[in-house]
Structures are given as structure tokens and as C-alpha cells.
Amino acid sequence: MTDTSAHPGAASGPIPDKPSLDGLEDRWDRVWSDQQVYAFDPDTTREQVFSVDTPPPTASGSLHIGHVFGYSQADMIVRYQRMRGKNVFYPLGWDDNGLPTERRVQNYYGVRCDPSLPYDPEFTPPQEGGDNRSAKPANQLPISRRNFIELCETLTEIDEKSFEEVFRTLGVSVDWNHSYQTINAASRATSQRAFLENLAAGQAYQSEAPTMWDVTYRTAVAQAEQVDQERDGAYHHIGFSRTDGTGEKVFIETTRPELLPACVALVAHPDDERYQGLLGTTVTSPLFDVEVPVLAHPLAQADKGAGIAMICTFGDATDVIWWRDLQLPTRSVIGRDGRFLPDAPWITTEAGRAHYAELVGLTVFSAQKRVVELVTASGDLVGEPRRITHPVKFYENGDKPLEYVTSRQWYLTNGGRDTSEGGLRDALIARGREITWHPAYMESRYRNWVEGLSGDWLISRQRFFGVPFPLWYAVDAHGETDHDTVLTPNLARLPIDPTIDAPEGYDESQRNQPGGFVADPDVLDTWATSSLTPQLAGGWNEDPELFAKVYPMDLRPQGHDIIRTWLFATIVRSHLQQDSLPWTNTSINGWILDPDRKKMSKSKGNVVTPIGLLRQHGSDGVRYWAGRARQGVDTAFDEGQMKIGRRLAIKILNASKFALGFGTAPADPAGLLAADPTAVTEAVDRSLLASLATVVEAATAAYEEMDYARALEVTEPFFWAFCDDYIELVKDRAHGQVGEAGAASARAALAITLDVLLRLFAPVVVFATEEVWSWWREGSVHTQPWPDAAPLREAAAGTPAELLSTLSDLVVAVRRIKSDAKVSQKTPILRATLSLPAARAELAEAGRSDLTALGRIEALTIVGGAEDGISVTDVELGEPPVKQPRH
């Protein structure tokens, strides 16, 4: 055994007698942290830097296997760039604010936020840990906003520590000196500054308009956060009465009969001949006796339902378009809690008001049931409802359909309304074309999303744990809020909380008083902060010098499901703030699918938490599974691949120990390789290096395209052939049994190949490669230069790679002789004849001595001229070796 000391700072020492993966993660994480192996060097130029806009995971609950999958793939790309000599800026943030954190705090501590309550500095939560009972609002203790936020901050800090442990165990090479949060003071100041600059530039505006609303969480929901779910419904054939004295009825079909009291018009297509005589007249609504006009609009579908529809404020997005285009009144009946409002002043008849009174306070579901009962009793419903399934809008984290609620909200321009030629939408589509996408086809998903936008980005949320809007509004002498008089702070004051801080020129005594001010109660959408991750991580607001060195960033890795949210939103912000792209490349990972080919997600309850897998299969095994998956491709959760990865990592340890046990190789005076290439004189050894050069070229080309999977795909088969064939072929020679020159050649080839293989595997198999490197090389493998094919080609001296592959095929043939004969591989072959094509026979001659040594062949005849394949004839086996008794 070679007694080679480890590099300074490593804990491993000499080559162990029994190499093991156990404990490598903890040991090497400590070494990397102590030696700051992955730290960014600020003394740099932008050209030297490779910077990464890393996804900040939501610090709520626990990580799942999808995180491990995506972050491992990104880390492979980053580690390659570091080995290419780049000064890597690789921060990791925590996405603290937002609804998931609030929900976790509510359940964990058994509390809920009530902004009307005063702050209690001595508050202690009623519980810690949560249970089924604490998940119900009725069982949650109401507390002040400030107390609630403090609990959010406490719990996210706990979650972040556990998240960091997983990432460290996984071997993600982030620079922990540059971690950040989306809710700390620096992030609040950055987000508030960006918003105020948007406001000053006319890119942010407020509007009172119909807004998609989640009635459970009582917050507005942006278009990007909405998902379609197939729901059961029914078309109801309901008649409106004409007001022209004919007594005739006009029948519509609707899936929302409960919105009859909110009806403001009927609408038909202007070219629909059935309703030409009706356009411009009026009808009265059933039950509620409200007179509404019959109007024309091209969005009305003649072939859908009855061909004429009722417009309600608001049932869906088309209602909003009709309401806006036809300048119709607003008649809201559903409140922010999802229940029917107490008054509908446009209903004036006694019978109509009596019917509406039956709906007040009901949920949408209950109101629909009651309206159907009423129109059935009145005879306005004709026939049985026609059952259907149809897509209904939900908040991505919600469990009830979204409703339209009229409210005052803040918006940011994102091209949804600016569809003019050369306008913002076109500019953002052009930005998408400027990015290099990995894989390339993902660009179309981005473009399709931008082209399908129907409105600007709604950025205000009616939540608590988030970045507050840094705004106040003037209150007039009558105590009415003047939303048109917006009070903003000086940028030097940021971050501010308008519910605690007073605007310039006012003091706290004027809060909510006539002639004073009132705070904007809302917070920024969590994506409005997360969309600034390049600015947050890069220090745009507080460290302009650092920002200039890392921005625009080089890479954004992320999942394909958030192209429409995080990726698009980040492009919008960088386009508006810096008039540039936020990064030049994006690498898109796929979803993890369960055995039923369904996406793994917390909401579906089918996720797998990673820490157990990392302990069972080793981090290198789990990373291998991630590295085998193509970019952008949804991948099945497969522990079988993790087991293969673990076997690979163990083989790297054991094969390296074996290879290093043959003796010391001569040093390379030029320092380009792990051993002197001039010592490689044997054809088989040179062929090995020629083959290795081809692998290096292919792996390098793959990594240059950020295709880690292809790089692993070409490296792994070579490694197994190196272990199973080459080492076996040359081990007698490497031990010096055929002369010193032959031994020196084999040892040099082994050292060079092992060195290169460790570096090729290092981005994926991070712990095993570092462990082996420490046995015989200085420094960390992860800061070594990436292998170069040129010195390998030179050392190969023109020897073809096919020589080694031919010998590998012959090794298989020789082994088959003995396995077919059911004798030990140590059994000698007294004589044999190998027939193979002439070109390959010539190559086989060059490796004759190694082949005969491996096969224990006393007399070998190699015959060229076979048309195809390899045949073995004239075989005579010797006596199998006698097994020695164990003592």
C-alpha cells in the first residue's frame, strides 16, 4: 500500500485500508468551510466572474427531493465553471415571506394575525409544533401583526438552519458568506427602492378594479399564480323577461346562477341573426326584477350555450372585458370573505329585495343552491341543469375557486396591457430571445406566456409577513383617505414600515386623523421581492461595487413550472430597473414524478424528504441520480439509480486505492499531468490516454453547453472499462513483473488517468472524488483546473484509442472461455487461437503481452482476416489452481 499523505487541512490521512463513504459529507463540509474553498474573491473583474442567480427556496417546513434534484444539477454546472478557472459567485437565499410561511406559523403556533390588536412585547405562543386542531382558524389565537411577524421570523430562522444542513450534506458548493433573505432589512430596502423607482417612472400604478381574489386567504392573486382545475358544474337554462310587453322570455345558459343579482346586461354576437331584433332593447332579470340592456359584443359566442350570455360583475375574465368595453355599471354581490354582501341597492322591487335577503351571508356554494331552488319554484328555470366539467380558476396554493372582487390594488407594467408594436410586450419577448436557454425549446414557454398576458402584474397582497409598500396616503379634513395623494419616503430612510413609521412632515399623532395620513396596509407580492434576486444577492442597493462585478449574472437555474412567474418576473424587473437582462443563460430542470408519473409536490402529499435518502444512498449516489437526468425533462423518482450512483462512488474509492497501490509514478516536470507523460511508452497505455482524451473532449463540450448529463454519460463507461479491463490488463506489468520500463509506463498512465477521471467526476460525485484526491494530491479537487485533452493526445503519441477497445473485447472473449468451461479465471490457457479482422489483429499484437498475462495464456496465436467479430478456437486449458486452505 502506498503511504501517501493527505493534503494540508484534510482529515483523511494516508490511504485507508478499507475506504468507505461513511462520514465523508460531514468531514469534507467542515474542511471546505474552514478553508473557504467555495468563497467568492471580491478582488476581481467582471470578466473573471461566473455568477449564479440561485433559486431561494421557501423557508417553510422541509425541503423535498425536487429541491435536491434541481440544486444538484445547477451545482454540477457551477463546479465545472469553477474548475475552468472562473471566480464563482454562488450565493443562496431564503424566500422567507409569503403565504406558505404564514400558514406554517398559524399551524405551528396555533395563532392567526389580527391587525386591529395591539402589540404584546411579553407574548408567548400557546403552543409549538402544531396539530390538526391548530390548523383550523377557529382554534387559532388572534394576535397583533407585529407579534405575528416576530413568530414568522423565529420559525423561518429555525427552518433555514435545517435547510442549510440538507444543502451542506448534499455538497452544494454555494458561498455561505453571501446568503440572503427576502425579508431582512437589506431585502426590504432593495424591494422598496425598486418599487419607488418604478412609481417615479410611471411603471407602477394603483387602480380600483375587479381583481381575482382568494376568499380563504383574503388576498388578491396575480395571473401568474392562478391555475385551472377541472370542476363539476352545470348549465342552467334560465329565462329573462322582455320589457316590450310581448311577455316573451330570452333564455340564457349559465354555470353561475347565483350571480343573477349581479347581472348588468345580456350580450350576443353582432352577427347572430337570432338576436338582431333584441339588440338595443331591455329585459328584466328573474327573481330580482332588475332591468338590463341587451348589447352586442364580438366576444359573444353564437355556438356556445344559447348564444346569448348574461354579463355579471364579475363571474369570469370575459365579464371583466365586457364590463370595461361596454362601460357597464358595477354590481358586486360577493365580499372578500366569499359570502354575499348585505346590500344590493340596484334591486328595488319588494320581491327582488326579499329574494336577495335570502342570500345575504351565504357562501357562493350555498347561494347557488338557493337561487336554483328559487328559479325552479318561479318557473324561470327550464328543464334539468345540464351537467358538465369545466376549468375553474384557483389560487395555486388555495382550495376554493377564485372570485372577482372590486378593490384598490397596485400594479406593475409587464406588457400585459402594452401590446403596441415595439411596446413593452415586444421588448420582453425580445429579451427572451437574447437569453441562451438550456434546453433551447424552453424559450417558447416563456414567449407563449408573455403573448398570453391579459393584464399588468398585480403586485399588492393583503397579507402580513412581507415587504410593506413604503407609502402613506393623505387624509383630508373630513377624515376621508385621498388615495391620489401618495406620500413616499426619502430613499435614505429605507426600509420603512408605514404602519409604524410616519411620513416626512408628519408625526405619529396624525396617523388616521383628519388632515393627517394613513398607511398603505398591503405588502408586496412575494414574487415582487423574489424577482429581484440578482439585485438582492449582488448588492445593488448596498454594495454597487460588488454589483458591477457580478451583474448581469451568468446563470439562472430553475424549474420549468416557474418560467411564467419567477423567470418572467425577474426579466421584467431587470428590464425596468437596469434596462438589461438579469442573466445570459438559464438552465431549466424538470419535475420529479412519483411512480404513477404524477408531479411530486407538498400539496399532493406524495413528496419524499431528502435527508433519509442522503443517508441511505450517500449524497454522491443521490447526486448521480440527478446528474443522469436531462435538462428540462420530468424524471421519475428512482432509488435504483441512486443505488447505482452509490456503487459508482464506492468503486471510485476502491479502484483508486488499487490503482495507487502499484507504486510511485515519475513526476511530470512540466506539471501538466499527474505523472511524466514521456514515461508512457507502451502502446496499451498510450491507447488508454488517447481514449481518455476523447472522453475529455466530449465531456468538456457537453459542460460548455451546460449538459452535465451528457458529460456523465461519456465519462462513466470509460471509468468502468478502466477498472474492469485496463487495470486488469496491466497490473502484472505495473507491479514490475516484465521490467522497469513497462512498470513505469503503466504507473504513469494509471496516475494520469486517475487524476483526470477524478476531475471529470468531481462536479457530480463530489465527496468520493475529494476523498481520493486527498490521498495523493495537494489542494482540493474542486479547485483544480479542468482536464485538457491536448497533453493527453501528445502523450498518446498517435496511438489509436481502438487498440484498447480491441483488447477489451478480447479480454471479454478470454474470460468467456473460462466461464463457459466453469473454471476459475486463474486457470491457465495452454494454447488458444484468436481470429479477428486484420486491422484489429494488428492492434491486438501491440497488446499481446498484457493480454497473455491477464489470461494466463502460454501460447497465443492471433490470426487476422476474419470478416467480422472475434472467434476463439484451438483452446486447451491447463489445470485449475489448487485452492489454498484458509488458516
DSSP 3-30: -PPPPTT-S--SPPSS---TTHHHHHHH
CA distance 504 to 489: 7
Is residue 475 within 8 A of residue 521, CB to CB? The reply is: no
CA distance 693 to 18: 31
707 grid coordinates: 449538459
Torsion of CA 32, 36, 42, 48, to 10 degrees: -40
| Cβ burial, residue 669 (10 Å; 0-12/13-18/19+) | exposed
The predicted structure's pLDDT at residue 1: 32
The predicted structure's pLDDT at residue 450: 95
List Cβ neighbours of 43 (8 Å cut-off, separation of 6 or more): none
Instruction: Classify each residue of 616-633 as buried b or exposed e, where b means 16 or more C-beta atoms within 10 Å of its C-beta.
Output: ebbbbbbbbbbbbbbbbe
Mark residue 520 as left, alpha or beta (left: phi above 0; alpha: psi -120 to 50; beta: remaining).
Answer: beta
Is residue 56 within 8 A of residue 67, CB to CB? The reply is: no
CA distance 254 to 385: 10
For helices 848-855 and 838-846, what crossing angle results, to 10°? 80
The predicted structure's pLDDT at residue 213: 86
| Residues with pLDDT less than 70, the chain | 1-13, 61, 132, 601-607, 884-887
Q: From residue 487, give the alpha-carbon distance in Å to each of 115, 459, 469, 483.
A: 22, 18, 11, 10
Nearest to 590 by CA among 707, 450, 439: 439
Amino acid at 134: S
Beta-bridge partner residues of 559: 589
CA distance 103 to 303: 44
CA distance 628 to 646: 13
Q: Which residue has the cell 365580499?
A: 335
| pTM of the complete model | 0.85
H/E segment holding residue 194: helix 185-200
Q: Which residue has the cell 316590450?
A: 244
Mark residue 361 as left, alpha or beta (left: phi above 0; alpha: psi -120 to 50; beta: remaining).
Answer: left
CA distance 721 to 19: 21
129 grid coordinates: 409544533
Is residue 56 within 8 A of residue 198, CB to CB? The reply is: no
CA 614 to chain centroid, in Å, comes to 19
Looking at every residue in the chain, the average pLDDT score rounds to 92
Is residue 259 within 8 A of residue 231, CB to CB? The reply is: no
CA distance 502 to 507: 6
Going by the DSSP 8-state scheme, the letter that residue 308 receives in this structure is: E
Is residue 590 within 8 A of residue 629, CB to CB? The reply is: yes
Strand 517-519 relative to strand 523-524, pairing: unpaired
Beta-bridge partner residues of 292: 283
Is residue 523 within 8 A of residue 448, CB to CB? The reply is: no
The predicted structure's pLDDT at residue 787: 98
CA distance 93 to 258: 46
The predicted structure's pLDDT at residue 11: 35
CA distance 354 to 363: 18
- Half-sphere CA count of 232, side-chain side, radius 13 A: 4
Going by the DSSP 8-state scheme, the letter that residue 720 receives in this structure is: H
H/E segment holding residue 394: strand 386-395
CA distance 341 to 498: 30
Q: From residue 101, give the alpha-carbon distance in Å to each of 97, 473, 520, 833.
A: 6, 29, 22, 73
CA distance 678 to 846: 19
CA distance 215 to 158: 30
839 grid coordinates: 486491422
- Phi and psi, residue 774, nearest 5°: -70, -20
| Cβ burial, residue 421 (10 Å; 0-12/13-18/19+) | exposed
Is residue 468 within 8 A of residue 498, CB to CB? The reply is: yes
654 grid coordinates: 476502491
Q: Which residue has the cell 412519483?
A: 594
